């Protein structure tokens, strides 16, 4: 029991540290965009989308308490038939993402779970970075309304994609957390 509790805390604390770093990378991205500094934008955005968020997803996927698949499976298991299971699956996804058919209160009940970070949040971040890069390349200003329409396609796609997610953890939590620590601790110490 003590090992299980320690592992849970290790995942949760590391998750929180990476969330703080995500905010710092966002600030770097925003500053790079304001300064029209494309190389810096690509660096900060690339680290966030192609390294930090995948590492976070691997970490979360290593503990059964942080799995999207568990949430979805619980919803599906309440159904009496397959059509109802699909509806419950869609509603469970909607609750933790869009919170309504048109994204009425986006991220109101957001979670950081293995599978959700990779297939939902990282996809949105990727679109955001790509959009900013395209704006700098073309000289166009960032269009929030157009971006919201494009990101909604990702969000709605996730809600309706029906993809199955693992309900069993994978990976060595301790090794993943150690790797994250060694990789990001020096950056964190410089920032904070």
Residue 188, class by beta-carbon neighbours within 10 Å (0-12 exposed, 13-18 middle, 19+ buried)? middle
Q: In terms of Cα–Cα distance, which of 185, 168, 183, 171 is closest to 59? A: 171
pLDDT at 191: 84
pLDDT at 25: 97
Can you tell me whether residue 170 is helix, strand or coil?
Answer: coil
Cα 72 to the center of its chain, rounded Å: 17
pLDDT at 104: 78
Domain 2-191: which topology?
1.20.120
Return the bridge partners of 67, or none.
114
pLDDT at 146: 98
CB atoms under 10 Å from CB of 36, counted, come to: 11
CB atoms under 10 Å from CB of 85, counted, come to: 17
**Mean pLDDT in consecutive groups of 10 residues from the start of the chain, 192 residues:** 92 97 97 98 98 99 98 98 98 95 86 98 98 98 97 97 97 98 92 82
154, 123 Cβ separation under 8 angstroms: yes
pLDDT at 12: 98
Q: In terms of Cα–Cα distance, which of 171, 189, 173, 182 is closest to 12? A: 173
pLDDT at 188: 87
All residues at 6 or more sequence positions from 44 whose CB lies less than 8 Å from its CB, including other chains: 25, 28, 29, 32
26, 87 Cβ separation under 8 angstroms: no
pLDDT at 120: 98
103, 155 Cβ separation under 8 angstroms: yes
Residue 98, class by beta-carbon neighbours within 10 Å (0-12 exposed, 13-18 middle, 19+ buried)? buried
The answer to whether the Cα torsion of 22, 28, 31, 32 is positive or negative is negative
pLDDT at 101: 86
pLDDT at 192: 80
Domain ranges of the chain: 2-191
pLDDT at 112: 97
pLDDT at 96: 96
């Amino acid at each position: 029991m003590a090992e299980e509790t320690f592992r849970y805390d290790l995942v949760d604390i590391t998750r929180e540290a990476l969330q703080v770093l995500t905010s710092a990378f966002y600030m770097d991205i925003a500053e790079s965009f304001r300064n029209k500094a494309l190389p810096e934008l690509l660096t900060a955005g690339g680290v966030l989308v192609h390294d930090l968020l995948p590492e976070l997803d691997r970490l979360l996927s290593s503990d059964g308490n942080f799995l999207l698949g568990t949430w979805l499976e619980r919803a599906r298991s309440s159904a009496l038939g397959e059509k109802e299971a699909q509806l419950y699956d869609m509603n469970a996804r909607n609750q933790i993402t869009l919170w309504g058919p048109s994204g009425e209160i986006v991220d109101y009940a957001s979670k950081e779970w293995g599978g959700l970070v990779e297939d939902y949040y990282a996809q949105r971040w990727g679109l955001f970075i790509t959009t900013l890069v395209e704006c700098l390349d073309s000289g166009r200003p960032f269009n929030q309304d157009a971006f919201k329409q494009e990101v909604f396609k990702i969000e709605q796609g996730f809600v309706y994609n029906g993809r199955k997610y693992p309900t069993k953890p994978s990976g060595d939590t301790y090794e993943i957390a150690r790797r994250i620590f060694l990789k990001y601790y020096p950056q964190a110490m410089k920032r904070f």
